[in-house]
């Protein structure tokens, strides 16, 4: 599972010997007014800057379902 997350977030299937540049990061997508209707349902990755953006969900089960779907249905560059 961690290899899929690494690949999704950075485009790399293994850790590079000299590390990543820039350092991988995680951001959380949320609305300030707590209206989840316009929040993206799936995680978004920007492999150019090694960043994964995770949407906040109303439950852990919904987050896990969407996260697992994204990891299982993306290969290389693209969107779930």
Catalytic residue (one of 1, 14, 18, 48): 48
Burial of 71 (0-12, 13-18, 19+ CB in 10 A): middle
How many Å apart are CA 61 and CA 76, to the nearest integer? 26
The whole-angstrom separation of Cα 49 and Cα 44 is 12
- Under 8 Å CB-to-CB from 26, ≥6 apart: which residues? 51, 52, 53, 54
Whether 48 is catalytic is yes
Q: Which residues are catalytic?
A: 48
């Amino acid at each position: 599972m961690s290899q899929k997350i690494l690949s999704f977030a950075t485009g790399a299937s293994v850790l590079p010997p000299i590390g990543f540049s820039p350092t991988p990061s995680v951001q959380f997508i949320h609305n300030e007014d707590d209206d989840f209707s316009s929040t993206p349902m799936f995680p978004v990755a920007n492999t150019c800057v090694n960043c994964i953006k995770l949407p906040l969900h109303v439950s852990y089960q919904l987050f896990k379902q969407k996260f697992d779907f994204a990891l299982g249905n993306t290969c290389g560059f693209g969107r779930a």
